[in-house]
Amino acid sequence: MSLLKSEDSKKWINFFLALVSILVGFLVIRFTQQMGEWFDLEAKIPYFLGVTQGLGIVLGLAVFIGVQKNQEASKHLNQVYAELVKVIWPDSESVAKSTVGIVIGLSILSGIFVGVDYLFRAILNLIY
């Protein structure tokens, strides 16, 4: 059962681009604020906080619009979404069985390591 449907591609791609744009805007704001602290730009630039937030919003929108208008980027995102639609997620029963198997295997392996460690410790105690 796939979580994604091929009909919803435009919606999910736009959602992803919006998240990336928000992240870019946030990083630009944080970067300019950090530069402001380092170089005391708050005192040199009037309304520094507004300028940094405006710059973050403008660059975030530029990323969103730039990727939307770029044909190669849109084609690539559509191809990525087409591949994601093909993903089949396992059901909860098979996930639970795999988890139990992994826990049992790790328990056995850790028991072996504990046994080898105990054996080497005993040998070293006899030598020294």
Stretch 111-118: mean pLDDT, rounded? 98
Phi and psi at residue 74, in whole multiples of 5°?
-65, -40
How would you write 62-118 as a 3-class SS string? HHHHHHHHCHHHHHHHHHHHHHHHCCCCCCHHHHHHHHHHHHHHHHHHHHHHHHHHH
pLDDT in tens, 12-21: 999 999 999 9
How much is the pLDDT for 3? Answer: 64
Question: What is the distance between the alpha carbons of residues 10 and 43, in angstroms, rounded to a whole number?
Answer: 45
Q: Is the pLDDT of residue 65 over 80?
A: yes
Confidence of residue 68 (pLDDT cuts 50, 70, 90): very high
Q: Which has the higher per-residue pLDDT, 85 or 105?
A: 105
| Average pLDDT score, the chain | 93
Contacts 24+ apart (CB under 8 A), 77-80: 77/13, 77/16, 77/17, 78/9, 78/13
pLDDT in tens, 77-91: 999 998 988 888 899
Q: Which has the higher per-residue pLDDT, 2 or 60?
A: 60
Question: What is the distance between the alpha carbons of residues 16 and 103, in angstroms, rounded to a whole number?
Answer: 35
Among 6, 11, 21, 15, residue whose Cα is nearest residue 59: 21
How much is the pLDDT for 2? Answer: 58
How much is the pLDDT for 89? Answer: 84
pTM: 0.67
| Complete DSSP assignment for 45-65 | STTHHHHHHHHHHHHHHHHHH
